[in-house]
Homo-oligomer: A and B are copies of this chain.
Amino acid sequence: MKNLVGAAMFAQSGGPTSVINASAAGVFIEALKQDKITAVYGAAHGIRGVLNEDFYDISKEDMKELELLKYTPSSALGSVRYKLKDAKKDDTDYKRIVEVFKKYNIRYFFYNGGNDSMDTCNKISKYIKKSGWDCNVIGVPKTIDNDLFGTDHCPGYASAAKYIATTIMEVNLDAKVYDTPMVCVIEVMGRNAGWLTAAAALAGHKGLGADLIYLPEVPFDVDKFVQDVKNVCAKKGNKCIAVVSEGIHDKDGKLICETAASNVARDSFGHAQLGGVASILANILKQETGFKTRGIELSLMQRCGAHLASKVDVEETFKAGRQAVKAAVRGVTDKMVVYKRVDDNGKYKCKFSLVNLKLAANTEKTVPLDWIINDGTYVSDEFVKYALPLIQGDAKAPLEDGLPRFAKLKKVQAGK
């Protein structure tokens, strides 16, 4: 453990969340307090900002605006989807990172993101150590997908889950308003992990959920789906609400949205760009039942709906940022901050811990298969018990002219 004095660099990466900036606020506010940290920088667009010497001097920001970051959705510094090459094959980027770190005396590096970003963070951590430049590297978790290993849950998940559950409750009331048949298919994010889709069960817990919930953890069969919906309609006055993950796939692993889309674009990590499966299924159901059907995609709203953020999530996410700084200053490196759930006399409590970056980078946590019930069409109460404590309370930006007053950063350039 090295006791370092120097600058801190923070960067945000991957898909944004409603509360990702709460971690930025935590890192910035804590780092500005620490004597060992001589300057606090925020990189523009993740690791690309480091490579391009494009970063901001956070000490120039107003504290009021840094506080407002807690309630401001999307990555305030800009994000990036940039895959670092294997350093053994091509270490150009890594050399450049070390060069920039030396130039600005960066002794603390905080990288905020999900699986792919933790992979980036892990690679940088390993290379820097090998390079001989002393710099403590800490990963700050973030993902609405809730699929990071080693943590009870992920910063950003609960707010997205709360958005999804609240919206499904409202859509449930709306979709059932007429005395005519209505089938509604709602599509939720989450490629491989069904944590977000399962949030529909929270609405169900309040009596206004979905009749059917399909997670990507188990194979999806379109014919069975049509029959499932027909069965619900027969029992419930020709009304049915089904919630599906964007990542539902058949038994051969082929995405349902891919079997219906001839040309699916892929992002720079090779992931297919998903979406549209709700409309596809709604259309199939219309043909099969003759009923009025509607496909609804919660799209970007589920990950940027900060007006519905969970107070528990905002506070934990803010603390996760502070914990990262405290750990690094203590001399910790090559770790990611994680949440541990503690039973405090029957009440939910969250404690912080650390896990090796390497583990966080390469392991994906999905919904336990024994939580998926009713022949793959619902989730058990264990999920509700798990998720309910996380979505408690409201925490949102103050209103100005009836609309949210989000943080406005000055973004004073500190790089070249």
> Which positions in A face B, CB cutoff 8 Å?
16, 44-45, 48, 72-75, 78-81, 162, 165-167, 169-171, 173-179, 202-203, 205-206, 208, 259-263, 265-269, 271, 273-276, 279-280, 282-284, 292, 294-297, 299-301, 303-308, 310, 388, 391-394, 399-404, 406
Contact = CB atoms under 8 A, between A and B. Distances in A.
Given A171-B304, A280-B267, A402 B406 contact: no
Contacts of A268: 259-262
Contacts of A400: 206
B271 A174 contact: no
Nearest to A286: B265
Nearest to A167: B301
Contacts of A175: 300
Nearest to A205: B401
Which of A44, A205, A206, A403 has the largest count of B CB atoms less than 10 A from its CB?
A: A403
A101 B273 CA distance: 49
Contacts of A202: 401-403
Which of A174, A208, A266, A308 has the largest count of B CB atoms less than 10 A from its CB?
A: A174
Contacts of A263: 265
Nearest to A162: B402
A187 to B, nearest CB: 11
A384 to B, nearest CB: 9
B304 A300 contact: no
Given A279-B274, A403-B162, A304 B178 contact: no
A276 B276 contact: no
A203 B206 CA distance: 32
Nearest to A175: B300
B274 A283 contact: yes
Nearest to A207: B408
B74 A174 contact: yes
Contact of A403 (B174, B178, B203, B265): B203
A21 to B, nearest CB: 9
Given A79-B178, A294-B300, A297-B299, 7 more contacts: A48-B179, A74-B176, A81-B178, A174-B303, A206-B400, A393-B399, A394-B399
A81 B182 CA distance: 14
16 contacts: A44-B179, A73-B170, A162-B403, A171-B301, A173-B304, A174-B300, A174-B303, A174-B304, A202-B403, A260-B267, A260-B271, A276-B279, A294-B299, A296-B300, A297-B297, A391-B402
Nearest to A81: B178
A166 B405 CA distance: 10
Contact of A391 (B169, B292, B403): B403
Contact of A401 (B16, B73, B81, B206): B206
Nearest to A16: B177
Contacts of A292: 265, 273
B276 A280 contact: no
A248 to B, nearest CB: 16
Which of A266, A271, A292 has the largest count of B CB atoms less than 10 A from its CB?
A: A271
Contact of A301 (B170, B266, B280): B170
A74 B73 CA distance: 28
A406 B176 CA distance: 15
Contact of A393 (B45, B305, B306, B402): B402
A275 B274 contact: no
A366 to B, nearest CB: 24
Contact of A406 (B167, B173, B265): B173
